[in-house]
Structure 1
Amino acid sequence: MSAALATRLLRWFDQHGRKDLPWQRTLNDGRRDAYRVWLSEVMLQQTQVATVVGYFERFVRALPTLRALAAADEDTVLALWSGLGYYRRARFLHRAAQLCVERHGGELPRDFAALSALPGIGRSTAGAILAQAHGLRFPILDGNVKRVLTRYHGIHGHPGESAVEKQLWQHAETHTPKTRVADYTQAIMDLGATLCTRSRPRCGDCPLATGCIAHRDDLTAQLPSRKPTRSIPTRATVMLILRDHDRRVLLERRGPQGVWSGLWSLPEAGDPGSAWRLAQQHAQIDDAQALAPFTHVFSHYRLDIEPLLFDRATARGGIADNPHLRWCSAGELGALGLPAPVRSLLLQINDST
């Protein structure tokens, strides 16, 4: 059964698979660039291909090699990542590149244990790099592959549960062929992304439909089993937009913990009164304008944001000596790692006021 699945999947891939993605381009020796494969795999975590392509191409134009990534400063890396979210992925990517330069001669190791020991490279990502860049036989188990295998084998239970995931890894190992491993791993990811989708899967076009238990038993709407739902809390913050006479905005680098860690953002306060007091610590202010509030949704909570604009502020002394505070012009924003909602807010303000 395992050989039949790979054969049918590869036959489908030859006709319908995606073969022109920017990270699939080969080197002079016909192999794919392991750096590009790695970068794409990290970007594709939690993010769809259509979104990733533009970010990927911009990233490799700026940092075309692993050594270039390792040598870049964190602000450059986070600025290139800005908008993709889950910024810890970018920091792990940066640190892993530096470790490759320090320990592995500036290359991603081809040894599975050494590769998977790098920050942000788990079992599936390591397998994808080794399979797609070097043709080595390692299984993968990203979200698309989990969905395909869960339906094909009729596995109940949330795929994030350890017992269910163990089953899926066993099936992934069994189905991975000994030849054309790079094409197979791309094929099963493509199948999940284009046909075996979460909603409205196109079973009539699927090369695996005849052996799929979920299709046979009309369970495609129930499998994979959804994660048990829980309500997420809502938090609130006031974001201070202190803008001076030169239309520069005061930014603050966030600490190493929590969401948006290490990114430049706007100073925050718990309520408007605290916001006024904080604004007065940083600048001489006359008035404030309350802007339209909005909500940003994280995976584990909702954040209600109330922007408060203090225009024509005069900076107080001491900011120049604080490495975590800086006045920034509109033209400088592109070089900094900013949370997507903060960048969007600042662009709106610059366009409208």
Structure 2
Amino acid sequence: MQTGLLYNAVQTSGHLGWGTVAMSSPCNAACFPRVRRVAIFGGTHGNEMSGITLVNMWMKNGAEVQRNGVLTKPFITNPGAVEKCTRYIDTDLNRAFTPENLSTPSGDGLPYEVQRAKEINQLFGPKGSPDAYDVIFDLHNTTSNMGSTLILESSTDHFNLQMVHYIKKAAAPESCAVLLNEHPQLRYATTRSVSTHPVGLEVGPQPQGVLRSNIFESMRMIVKHALDFIELFNSGVEFPTCTVEAFRVHESVDYPRDTNGNITAMVHPRLQDCDWEPLNPGDPMFQTFDGWSIPYAGDGPVYPAFINEAAYYEKQQAFVATRRETLAAAAIRKASE
């Protein structure tokens, strides 16, 4: 296995020494079970082509994503939407994994994505149970200029925090932002939430229905780094305490609208394509159709993401305002078997 420059394994006194990572007594680290099953989802949205293409490629030849002692399953989650090259058929699959949907009886009258959610939950869950897959990577594209972004759903999942720390270091000098969504009103029931350790991956900018080689390769490399981390973890490597810079979801910002709900302004050119850059009070945020600027009026800087995302017009969202913070990850190691 190629692990890049991060961890250089040597044999010392019957134990592995791994550069900056060392084995230590069980009381010094949080213990997690061996990772046995990993799923890689593509096509949750049927017009986001990088994940669809990668998963189809790995379904034909999965050698690239196999790791010692781990079952890795590439899977197309929304084949109906993929066939039509549309985001979804009836409803957004990436919002469909609610307790109500997963517990509703199956039948011909269910929306297509709700039925798919139930099937995926049976294959890779059940959600919240000990039988669920250990890790699910859900691959997405965005039309926004976000680069590579890892999406987490918990600030206390130390396994995931350590994994994204590893990925960020391995991907350097390429940047890889971490978006954390624990907002009680803005978080949603994702496809990947079926697993114990859900990780979303957004890579852009890429238009819907289009495949760009640089975006494809960035996504492919991040998945490789993630699987390398899992193999290292399973081999007995302990990962020491670390910190992760993350962007926490703060609020959803809509476009200005008239009394009939029609959009009356666009993202300002000084904000367009500036994902992850600070938006300060007084900075131009929107531009009306007749050229007037509307400034940001918050009480402090925010860091916008998903700026002018095409798929979010229907969700009445111009961008997500985030706040930057540093998360602390405990040391982790594989639990004794």
**Higher helix residue share:** 1
Structure with greater contact order relative to length (CA < 8 Å, sep ≥ 6): 2
TM-score of Structure 1 vs Structure 2, range by shorter chain: under 0.3
User: TM-score under structure 2 normalisation?
Assistant: 0.27
Give the structure with the higher percent strand.
2
